[in-house]
Amino acid sequence: MFETTRGLLKGLALGAGAMYLFDPQYGSTRRSKIKDQFVRAGSDYGTLWEKGSKDLANRLKGQAFEAKGLLTGEVADDATVENRVRSAAGHVLTDAGGLRVEARDGVVTLGGTVRPGEPDLLVPAVEKVRGVRSVEALLSTAGEPIPHRPQTGLAANLPTGELTHGARLGLATAGVGLLARAVLRRGPLMVPLGAAGLALFQKGRRGGRVEDLLGLAEAPKPVRLAKTIHIDAPRDQVFQFLLDAESSRRFFPGHWEVEDLGGGRHRWGTTFAGAQLHCEEVVTEQVENEKVLWQSTPDSLVQYEGQARFEPEGDGTRVSVHLSWQPPGGSLGEIAARAFRMDPKSMLDEGLKRCKTHLEEHAVRPART
């Protein structure tokens, strides 16, 4: 019985995929887009492989020279010290291109413009460079201050700054490995492995900062998403239905409990990356049948904010939703959530689709005169 059901589901999935790709009206365009995406991804990976391999080779060569110097007691010349300092600066500065470095007999002078807070990270890092006896910092600061970084514990000892090409290559390659494993593997882990592999591959392609990847930045970049959908039902009914907390619990995946705390506040029992947790939110603005804005409370485990706007469109309603959230654990937390399809985008897409179906089937329209 189980084998029959599984075979039926696989057949349905293959049939749906074939209908999507070979649809007489849109199939050709869809196949062309998928082909372009594969070609672009392959090209990006090829470029990343070239840059990442060169980056790793240079780092290994540098480590070899460092080891040789330690063993032989060789004294580095000024040019070598300057190169070492620039290399160290690249790990702590947002942009090391504006840094000026001058070394004379082990005395290093730093000049140029960096972001506020970066001198406190740069000078200690340069002082640790082999061949440096002292550091004179003649730095100016401009721009946005860098996020606060913990000075104690494990987080203080982890690297910062932009992901190197070598690190990005490692992430992308790990993603390719997971995707291959997902294709070859049969069973319930196939989809989570594939989603995690795709997310890692994309992170390697796009790059970013180590702090954001690990969720260590004090104010990591939020993940933003938007969704617009037409619902063939009157605006007042759509507005009331989507604002009803119990309706949201029933139709949006991942929500297994909701408690009305009064005053526009709710406590949600939700699922994130396979784990159950509670979040609290509060409505910050509401205009009947037009818009509603909400945000998580400061002590909520997951921080987020959103807004929904309702506009008449023909005989129905145009619903536009904008969400911004900060995944626990940074990009790795986002990857885990996507792997289980319990990230806000997947939940929003599926929830709005279910609500649309329900509302259009049960819409009560005013009598025409």
- For 154-197, what is each residue's pLDDT tens digit? 344 445 556 677 778 888 888 788 778 777 766 666 666 676 77
In total, the chain counts a number of residues equal to 369
| Range with the poorest average pLDDT among 177-191, 216-230, 299-313, 330-344 | 330-344
* pTM strictly above 0.75: no
The pairing of strands 99-104 and 255-262 is unpaired
The SS3 call for residue 286 is: strand
Q: Which helix (H) or strand (E) holds 350?
A: helix 344-362
CA atoms of 180 and 193, how far apart (whole Å): 9
| Range with the poorest average pLDDT among 57-61, 109-113, 158-162, 352-356 | 158-162
- For 292-318, what is each residue's pLDDT tens digit? 999 988 887 778 899 999 999 998 999
The DSSP symbol for 162 reads: B
Question: Residue 109 — very low, low, confident or very high, per pLDDT cuts 50/70/90?
Answer: very high
- Residue 263 CB neighbours (<10 A): 8
How many helices (H) and strands (E) in the chain?
11, 10
What pLDDT sits at residue 110? 92
Strands (E) located in 212-329: 223-231, 255-262, 265-272, 275-287, 291-296, 303-313, 316-326
Residue ranges of domains in the chain, CATH in brackets: 2-51+165-208 (no CATH), 223-362 (3.30.530.20)
Q: List residues bridging with 296 in a β-sheet.
A: 281
- Residue 166 CB neighbours (<10 A): 18
321 φ, ψ to 5°? -120, 135
Residues with Cβ within 8 Å of residue 200, at least 6 apart in sequence: 171, 172, 174, 175, 178, 335
Percent of the chain with pLDDT over 70: 67
Radius of gyration from C-alpha coordinates of the chain: 27
